[in-house]
Amino acid sequence: MSETAPPLHPASIEEQLLAALGTLLPPPPGASAATQALLQGYLGAVRVHPAQVTALQAELLRELAILWSSAAANPSPADPADPWSVPFFALARDQHRILQAWTERLIALLDLPPAPRRAARFALRRWVEAADPANRLATNPMALAAALGSGGTSLARGLANLRADLEEGRIAMSAPGAFEPGRALAITPGAVVHENAIAQMIRYAPLTPKVGARPLLMVPPFINKYYVLDLRPANSFVRFALEQGLQVFMVSWRNATPALAGASWEDYLRLGVLEALDVTNALCATRAANVLGYCVGGTLAACAATVDAAAGRRRWHSLTLLATLLDFSDPGEVSVYVDEDYVAACERDAERGCLVPGARLAAAFASLRARELVWHFVQHRYLLGETPRPFDLLHWNNDATNLPGRLYAWYLRACYLENRLREPGRERLLGQPVDFGSLRLPAYVLAARDDHIVPWRSAYAGARLLGRPPRFVLGESGHVAGVVNPPAPGRRGWWGNGGALPADPAAWLDAALHRDGSWWHDWAAWIAPLAGRRVPAPVSPGSPAHPVIEPAPGRYVRESARAAADAHQSQPKE
């Protein structure tokens, strides 16, 4: 006789949820430093502005007292169409709104330098977002209504979703199983024509009878996977480039295995960018290629270009940088994670041969937009028991990658902590000085206005480091949506100027013209003459020296972070 499952109890569900979130959402790096900055700022305000702090506290208590007395004496009638209008839930929601507004006034009172102020604001925002009553079963009327209406089935589904996410080590943001590379995503036809221990390289099949003789090599970020540039056919930047008659190649980074934990930034330069560039030029019988880099892939590509410039090698014809930092003076919200203590800990991990788990990186980035990328799914996936809808960008966002500990530690210190790439000759890579001013080739730089990872003014500052003024374009939206913005009616617009880049980015923006629609067409018009003469499209992707290894998208992009962390593969080839 089978045992009857114990009934679900709200308190038990809350306990399980809180315990699980501690596993799924570990405190992000820098969280303790952010809290310390907040505490120091508050104590400083108490010391310097005691009367203002006292007045601010009294103002909060007065607003809460008015709310509570009004709710007790004159409760508003509930609207059947609005579950939050029930007096108990309305009180919880309005109390949270008062606290949220009060924290903004508190931050304005703190006398802190820009970086600690940003950290303090981040700490308060994390607290405010987590304290939203919608995140708790007892104060979420929609979750309670769903539980009552389904006889508890919604809660059972939510707990099942929670357990599934615990097994995967991440919150599922898109319908599980709806996508995978090579099926629905990353399906642009092509072939892997080169690989080493760090990366594969894909050559895509042409979509036009004639193509530009000079190829385009794309270098995506090694955080997450390349197919952000090749999602579905309707929003694939790769496919768009092919439709313009370009020959397109793509670096596909390997999900780092334990054997790759010692791989360095220079290994990624040599094996990921420069080796791919050599193969690209060899397959197309060209001396120089056009290269496009996105996010940290752009930083890596620009570093590789300076190495070649210093060595007198002319393998680069043009450079496109999408949402890329070269000057890390203001690296955006990511800076709240990066301080000396955290970087030193990463360096100690690197010395022990540790990988940086993809799940940790994904959780850290999600915490920067916790309302949309964490708590939304807590409410809908766990409390309401819903399955998220299929969403290509969120599936890609969930498809995390491990990083070599050595690479990660160097990147944090050299770029985020010390900003060494900005100063000509301060950093040497592969034996050559890094000097972005040595890059006197045509360049196209895209920034995104609402980018919280690469602030557009910081991307603008990096553009001004180049030795030849680039075409600078500012797209609407954020770090991903501002880049993945295919031409279609009603799409996000962009600003362009076409002139010089003054020191003040605000002056550039004041003189820029806003245009509706995607920036993709502007880039296509810019790169068309750089692609060279039109030649018949190649029939075969490979050559005797570089034969086809396997069809696109290849093995590397399919390997999960968890599987890679458990694998034992060879070290990078010398």
The secondary structure of 308-350 as a DSSP string is: HHHHT---EEEEEEES--S--SS-GGGGGG--HHHHHHHHHHH
| 209-248 per-position pLDDT tens digit | 999 999 999 999 999 999 999 999 999 999 999 999 999 9
Joined tokens for residue 185: 């995503």
| 510-530 per-position pLDDT tens digit | 999 999 999 999 999 999 999
Q: Which residues pair with 200 in a beta bridge?
A: 195, 252
Instruction: Report the pLDDT averaged over residues 59-79.
Output: 89
Judge whether residue 368 has pLDDT over 60: yes
Judge whether residue 563 has pLDDT over 90: no
| 463-506 per-position pLDDT tens digit | 999 999 999 999 999 999 999 999 987 788 999 988 789 999 99
C-alpha to C-alpha distance for 355 and 360, rounded to whole angstroms: 11
Judge whether residue 100 has pLDDT over 50: yes
C-alpha to C-alpha distance for 135 and 96, rounded to whole angstroms: 12
**Identified catalytic residue from 295, 303, 354, 415:** 295
- What separation in angstroms does the CA of 168 have from each of 23, 224, 534, 551? 11, 16, 48, 28
In the chain, the amino acid numbered 358 is G
Res 21: pLDDT: 75
* Least reliable range by pLDDT among 86-90, 112-116, 249-253: 112-116
- CB contact at 8 A, 197 and 254: yes
Res 3: pLDDT: 41
Joined tokens for residue 334: 């990511």
Judge whether residue 356 has pLDDT over 80: yes
Strand order in the sheet with 443-448: 513-515, 494-496, 471-475, 443-448, 316-322, 289-294, 216-219, 248-253, 199-204, 190-195, 550-551
Judge whether residue 572 has pLDDT over 60: no
| 257-285 per-position pLDDT tens digit | 999 999 999 999 999 999 999 999 999 99
Instruction: Report the pLDDT averaged over residues 383-395.
Output: 93
pLDDT tier for residue 9 given thresholds of 50, 70 and 90: low
Is 346 tagged catalytic?
A: no
| 287-321 per-position pLDDT tens digit | 999 999 999 999 999 999 999 999 999 999 999 99
- What single-letter DSSP state applies at residue 480? T
C-alpha to C-alpha distance for 332 and 451, rounded to whole angstroms: 8
Instruction: Report the pLDDT averaged over residues 102-130.
Output: 89
pLDDT tier for residue 22 given thresholds of 50, 70 and 90: confident
- CB contact at 8 A, 326 and 300: no
- What separation in angstroms does the CA of 40 have from each of 35, 112, 116, 122? 9, 9, 9, 14
Instruction: Report the pLDDT averaged over residues 148-152.
Output: 93
Q: What's this model's pTM, rounded to 2 decimal places?
A: 0.92
Task: Quickly list DSSP for 214-270.
Answer: S-EEEE--SSS-GGGGSSSGGG-HHHHHHHTT--EEEEEE----GGGTT--HHHIII
C-alpha to C-alpha distance for 71 and 91, rounded to whole angstroms: 7
Query: 372 CB contacts (<8 Å, ≥6 apart)?
Result: none
Judge whether residue 571 has pLDDT over 60: no
In the chain, the amino acid numbered 536 is P
pLDDT tier for residue 168 given thresholds of 50, 70 and 90: confident
Of the candidates 458, 189, 62, 184, which has an alpha carbon nearest to the alpha carbon of residue 298?
Answer: 458
Joined tokens for residue 279: 């193969």
